[in-house]
Structure 1
Amino acid sequence: MNMLKIRKIISTVVLGVVMFTFVGCSAKTNTAPKSDSKGVKEESTVKNKDNKIKYATKFNVEYLDNDVKVVTDGADKKLLLVPKGGKKPEGYDNIPVINTPINNVLLCSSMQTSLIRPLDVFNSVGAVTTYDVDKGHIDEINDRMKSGSITYVGKNTALDYELIKSKKPEVAFIISTDVAKLGAKFEELGIPYVVESSSLENHPLGRMEWIKFMSLFYNKEGEADKHLEKAEDTVKRVSEKVKGKDKPMVTAGVIHDGKFSVRVGGSYQSKMYDIAGGDYTFKDFEINKTGAASITNEEFYAKSTNADIYVFEGMGKTRPETISEFVKQAPIIENMKSIKSGELWSSQPWWSQSVDKLDEIIEDLAAIFYPEEFKGHEVRHYFKVANR
């Protein structure tokens, strides 16, 4: 073998070694765990697991190895959910840890009791706020409160923090509007708190998906998915049934402090009326916001006078028994079309504790709007106010 061939062979071997070293080092660099400034691992370490969040926009979840989850709650706060007995992964030093499944929780909203109903985890509830045992509408909570296994710790405006501390909850679920007044106090007590913001969603199925959010803390995503798939099927069926029909004009408003409170165009209630086939009179009012807004009696009358149906979705404990009783609260509505024709429908008292049943509520609304199309359907979450 001459010297020229020997040199070529040596060059080829050297080049191969260099390329192997470069590629090997590059591969290690790309797959090594990294953390950003907040102590959160980069996406390269997250499993490609479908979290199946289709409608909700106010929370998120990322699945890591060993059934660890990074949850972003309704206040954009990150939480690390680690199975009990499991090990906290490296690179997440700045994120609070909650061990799952939880089995001693404080619920700070009566609506949250319906978010956990499909999960069958009522035994995990150790304490509640705001829930009225005499007028609560979830038997599993009522029975446990009466037996003493669930403790009432006061209204959110006047909580008994000593009592709460003695109950040693693993987690306190609070709503977004209570973060300022409750968050700091829970931190002081060393109680992890989680912000539940289902009411800020602009789609009813988005609000229902907070059942999935709650399921993350119990490792019961399967149960949540099953319930949500059924709800989605109901909504699709109703949508198809009312598609192409002449829409009745629908108004809704609650009288409060001499004014009308109406659900704005960007609210999930507005979307519910739309899905059920109604032409909501306030659908174009503040479409970029959620929740409700106050308007004058005159403004409400001007928009609602020709509405075919009036839906009263009261959040309080009392409901109007007759139309005349309802009119006394705001006499200006007496000559509205819906009132004169007797088409005033009121929500049942348990309506606000039925977030897990919004699909049923949508079907009820469709049956109210199109009685001929839904013959045989029993309206459960509303009742027609007596015309006398």
Structure 2
Amino acid sequence: MKHKKIFLILLIFSFIVTALVSCGSPEETKDRLSEDRDISPEIEYESRMSLEYAQEFAVDHYSGGYTLISISDGSRFLVVPENQEAPKNLDEDIVVLKQPMDHIYMVASAVMDMFRAIDAMDAIRLSGTDTDGWYIEEAKRAMEDGRILYAGKYSMPDYERILSEGCRLAIENMMITHTPEVQEQLEGFGIPVLIDRSSYESHPLGRMEWVKLYGVLMDKEDEAEAAFKAQTETLADISHQENTGKTVAFFYLTANGSVNVRKSSDYVPKMIELAGGKYIFENLGDAESKASTMNMQIEEFYAGAKDADYLIYNSTVDGEMESLDELLAKSDLLKDFKAVKDGHVWCTTSNFYQESMSLGTFIMDVHSILTEGETADTAYMYLLR
């Protein structure tokens, strides 16, 4: 019995140590990305790409036009220019990707908009989202025309189609970590897997800056820089304005009656802050946890958000609301909210999350509703009447 207790204590201690090691700070993430620049004796390190906000990846340039993409999960990809061979004696963990890249299996739906922004959708042959799941019109049309084929979602890929189409790269989102056997199977077939971690970026503009990674991959660095700059310049006019002091709650009601809200450290509250507002929940959730949302009971939501100046309903899960009455039908408590009484309830459009390169526009939308009210001209939200 004594030995069993000691074993349990050691086991618990090991779990704690593992958790502390795996939850690194942004600075620790940068440190991990700074290692092993000497990757082969045949090429010389030249420079690192300057990133303004992103902390989950790094790009290093080498002689001969070679580029190394490093991701905070430890994966590394060497992008080899067209008509060149990979250098010899590379570090064993480095995956070689030869340009031009094509026949990509796109599972990370948020990345599709980045490929659209740099005019690289022709490189995508397979999709993890079916036709009716796309809100990006170019992706929907490409699937309707047969230029992009459905190859199964992340957990149930159509391996036969993926192999028959000559897939050269799978771009997955973080959901693949729940089915590691799928990644192992793809890699077992010789298909490299790149996991997009843009959702782990703490700053909303850091999420968009991942377009620069895909610009490197597709040999479209200038286009990626221009696409990113276009969104950041959108915010130039409001970046020096004082905060309006107006509070905002961002939420949706789940099927079981609870309320899903963003944690205070999530990128949505940061967008609200950049827009000149204040997220109603100041210290909600564990900042060290990678989970971006949490559920609370409607009574708890009422206590924390009833005096919020604005409510923004997140339509991503259960679809767009037709009217304010439709929302109020979900809970009588909402009728007593200040924002409801003042007519300050807005709903996001369904394409908001897929159009990942428009976060600057969304921030401007929030700024507009805070400063202009119901007359605001918005792209990704509308007033519930």
Q: Which residue of 1 aligns with 2:232?
A: 232
Tell me the SS of whatever aligns to 2:191: coil
Q: 1:330 to 1:40 in 2, by over 3 A?
A: farther
Q: How big is the alpha-carbon RMSD for the aligned residues of Structure 1 and Structure 2? A: 2.2
Q: Which residue of 1 aligns with 2:343?
A: 342
- Letter of the structure 2 residue corresponding to residue 214 of structure 1: Y
Distance 2:257 2:283 in 1: 23
Q: Which residue of 2 aligns with 1:17?
A: none
Distance 1:137 1:74 in 2: 29
The alignment covers a number of residue pairs equal to: 344
Distance 2:192 2:235 in 1: 36
Instruction: With the length of structure 1 as denominator, give the TM-score of the two structures.
Output: 0.83
Q: Which residue of 2 aligns with 1:366?
A: 367
Is this contact kept in 2: 1:100–1:218, CA < 8 A?
yes
TM-superposed deviation, 1:135: 4.9
TM-superposed deviation, 1:250: 0.7
TM-superposed deviation, 1:332: 2.4
| 1:334-385 deviation digits (Å, cap 9, x = unpaired) | 211112222110111111111101111110110011117x97x621111101
- Letter of the structure 1 residue corresponding to residue 113 of structure 2: S
TM-superposed deviation, 1:245: 4.5
Tell me the SS of whatever aligns to 1:194: strand
- Letter of the structure 1 residue corresponding to residue 311 of structure 2: Y
- Letter of the structure 1 residue corresponding to residue 210 of structure 2: W
Distance 2:334 2:165 in 1: 49
Is this contact kept in 2: 1:105–1:127, CA < 8 A?
yes
Distance 1:96 1:135 in 2: 31
- Letter of the structure 1 residue corresponding to residue 383 of structure 2: K
Is this contact kept in 2: 1:107–1:174, CA < 8 A?
yes
Q: Which residue of 1 aligns with 2:4?
A: none
- Letter of the structure 1 residue corresponding to residue 193 of structure 2: Y
- Letter of the structure 1 residue corresponding to residue 218 of structure 2: Y
Aligned pairs (5 A) from 1:233-248: 233-240=233-240, 243-248=241-246
The answer to whether 1:351 aligns with 2:352 is yes
The answer to whether 1:159 aligns with 2:160 is no
- Letter of the structure 2 residue corresponding to residue 46 of structure 1: Y
Is this contact kept in 1: 2:69–2:78, CA < 8 A?
yes
Is this contact kept in 1: 2:38–2:44, CA < 8 A?
no
Distance 2:243 2:186 in 1: 51
- Letter of the structure 1 residue corresponding to residue 121 of structure 2: F
Is this contact kept in 2: 1:252–1:263, CA < 8 A?
yes
Q: 1:245 to 1:38 in 2, by over 3 A?
A: closer
Tell me the SS of whatever aligns to 2:77: strand
| 1:45-99 deviation digits (Å, cap 9, x = unpaired) | 3103x51211011111111111111111352201111112212224414111010
Q: Which residue of 2 aligns with 1:11?
A: none
TM-superposed deviation, 1:244: 2.3
TM-superposed deviation, 1:301: 1.2
Tell me the SS of whatever aligns to 2:382: strand
Q: Which residue of 1 aligns with 2:186?
A: 186
Instruction: With the length of structure 2 as denominator, give the TM-score of the two structures.
Output: 0.84
Is this contact kept in 2: 1:39–1:91, CA < 8 A?
no
**Which region of structure 1 is more displaced relative to structure 2, 60-69 or 227-236?**
227-236
Is this contact kept in 2: 1:265–1:289, CA < 8 A?
no
Tell me the SS of whatever aligns to 1:353: coil
Is this contact kept in 1: 2:198–2:210, CA < 8 A?
yes
Aligned pairs (5 A) from 1:171-320: 171-181=169-179, 182-240=182-240, 243-256=241-254, 257-286=256-285, 287-290=287-290, 291-316=292-317, 318-320=319-321
TM-superposed deviation, 1:204: 1.2
Is this contact kept in 2: 1:260–1:295, CA < 8 A?
yes
Distance 2:261 2:227 in 1: 30
- Letter of the structure 2 residue corresponding to residue 54 of structure 1: E
- Letter of the structure 1 residue corresponding to residue 276 of structure 2: G
Q: Which residue of 2 aligns with 1:381?
A: 380
- Letter of the structure 1 residue corresponding to residue 53 of structure 2: Y
Gaps of 5+ in 1: 1-35
Distance 2:67 2:168 in 1: 17
Tell me the SS of whatever aligns to 2:295: strand
Is this contact kept in 1: 2:105–2:170, CA < 8 A?
yes
Q: Which residue of 2 aligns with 1:77?
A: 75
TM-superposed deviation, 1:289: 4.1
Distance 2:223 2:306 in 1: 44
Q: 1:308 to 1:188 in 2, by over 3 A?
A: same
- Letter of the structure 1 residue corresponding to residue 331 of structure 2: A
- Letter of the structure 2 residue corresponding to residue 187 of structure 1: E
Aligned pairs (5 A) from 1:90-109: 90-94=88-92, 95-109=94-108
Q: Which residue of 2 aligns with 1:30?
A: none
Distance 1:130 1:152 in 2: 7
**Which region of structure 1 is more displaced relative to structure 2, 114-123 or 134-143?**
134-143
